[in-house]
């Protein structure tokens, strides 16, 4: 009887903990979500309503003029195209480098005797960053300033993602590799025919990480691009957000024609236009996200 009472008590405690945990996570989610919803409402609201402080979580005096105005800004779409080029160049490059680094590091010591030295070779720079000035000098001296490679190459190696891939590869049953070895497969064949096909969850997770990292990066565009015409989208948006007035270069006639657009509504519209690519990709990779993180963290 006492054991049953203890089990019921423990179960009640676990339920209470689960309820509190869900409430806490819901609060965190709302804290992250509500500002985004507010900005979305601002982007669809008229300037007088925003200036009067009447916009909270729903648009007031609904209008698409902010988005119509932003759709006609050539510099916005120029920056958008720079970010797309960075994405198309940087993500495949990062994935190739990460996979080719993670696979040998996932081998046993008797297969790769220098494994521990190479692991420290990756871990030490992860803990001790060389600094902005050396990074800039390397990019400048290699002639990459004002090019897409200046944005893609320095970000091609992410040690955290390499560790995720390495641990996932180590969690794959050795019997699969042994069977491939019996059939005469070498390391290259084993990697591309055995390891990668069963690694879809972690590959999707790492791909999503690289997409978000490349798309959201803005500081490297600011320091590696001398011309504002070569700014990626997030760098362009950062310069717009910190500027005093998004409409400062417009003529008075143009301002009268777009009376429902203000500094706040214009910036909110740009921010959400910039978020569309990541929002479009995430649903296709989300189902692999949790399993990739968990399975890539099970072994050291």
Domain ranges of the chain: 65-300
Task: Please compute the mean of the pLDDT values over residues 179-206 and round it to a whole number.
Answer: 85
List, for residues 285-297, the tens digit of each pLDDT value.
666 655 545 554 4
- Cα separation of 190 and 184, whole Å? 10
* Fold exhibited by the domain 65-300: MetI-like fold (1.10.3720)
List, for residues 154-178, the tens digit of each pLDDT value.
888 888 899 889 988 888 888 888 8
User: CA–CA distance from 264 to each of 38, 96, 106, 247, 300 (Å)?
Assistant: 12, 41, 50, 10, 48
Whole-prediction pTM? 0.76
pLDDT of 233 strictly over 90: no
- Cα separation of 88 and 93, whole Å? 9
Torsion sign, CA atoms 90, 91, 97, 102:
positive
Contact 223, 136 (CB under 8 A): yes
Contact 288, 199 (CB under 8 A): no
Residue 98 confidence (pLDDT)? 93
Q: Which long-range contacts (CB under 8 A, 24 or more apart) does 57-63 make?
A: 61/260, 63/260
99: pLDDT confidence band, cut at 50, 70 and 90?
very high
SS3 state of residue 206: helix
Task: Please compute the mean of the pLDDT values over residues 46-67 and round it to a whole number.
Answer: 81
Give me the chain's average pLDDT, please. Answer: 80
Residue 261 confidence (pLDDT)? 62
Residue 47 confidence (pLDDT)? 79
pLDDT of 94 strictly over 90: yes
pLDDT of 89 strictly over 90: yes
Q: How many helices (H) and strands (E) does the chain have?
A: 15, 0
- Cα separation of 230 and 219, whole Å? 13
199: pLDDT confidence band, cut at 50, 70 and 90?
confident
pLDDT of 150 strictly over 80: yes
- Cα separation of 194 and 190, whole Å? 5
Q: What are the respective helix, strand and coil percentages of the chain, to the nearest 5?
A: 75, 0, 25
């Amino acid at each position: 009887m006492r054991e049953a009472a203890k089990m019921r008590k423990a179960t009640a405690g676990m339920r209470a903990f689960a309820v509190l945990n869900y409430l806490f996570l819901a609060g965190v989610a709302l804290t992250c979500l509500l500002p985004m919803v507010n900005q979305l409402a601002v982007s669809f609201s008229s300037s007088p309503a925003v200036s009067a402080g009447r916009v909270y979580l729903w648009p007031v005096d609904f209008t698409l003029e902010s988005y119509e105005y932003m759709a006609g800004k050539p510099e916005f779409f120029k920056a958008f195209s720079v970010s797309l080029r960075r994405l198309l160049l940087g993500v495949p490059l990062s994935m190739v480098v990460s996979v080719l680094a993670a696979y040998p590091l996932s081998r046993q010591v008797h297969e790769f005797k220098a494994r521990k030295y190479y692991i420290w070779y990756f871990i030490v720079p992860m803990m001790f960053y060389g600094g902005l000035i050396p990074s800039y000098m390397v990019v400048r001296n290699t002639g990459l300033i004002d090019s897409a490679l200046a944005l893609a190459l320095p970000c091609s190696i992410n040690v955290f993602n390499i560790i995720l891939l390495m641990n996932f590869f180590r969690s794959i049953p050795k019997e699969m590799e042994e069977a491939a070895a019996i059939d005469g497969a070498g390391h290259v064949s084993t990697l591309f025919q055995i390891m990668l096909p069963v690694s879809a969850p972690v590959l999707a997770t790492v791909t999503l990480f690289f997409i978000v990292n490349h798309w959201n990066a803005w500081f490297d565009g600011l320091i590696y691009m001398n011309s504002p015409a070569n700014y990626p989208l997030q760098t362009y948006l950062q310069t717009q957000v910190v500027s005093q007035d998004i409409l400062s270069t417009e003529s008075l006639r143009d301002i009268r024609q777009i009376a429902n657009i203000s500094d706040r509504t214009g910036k909110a519209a740009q921010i959400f236009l910039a978020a569309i690519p990541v929002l479009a990709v995430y649903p296709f990779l989300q189902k692999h996200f949790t399993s990739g993180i968990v399975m890539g963290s099970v072994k050291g």
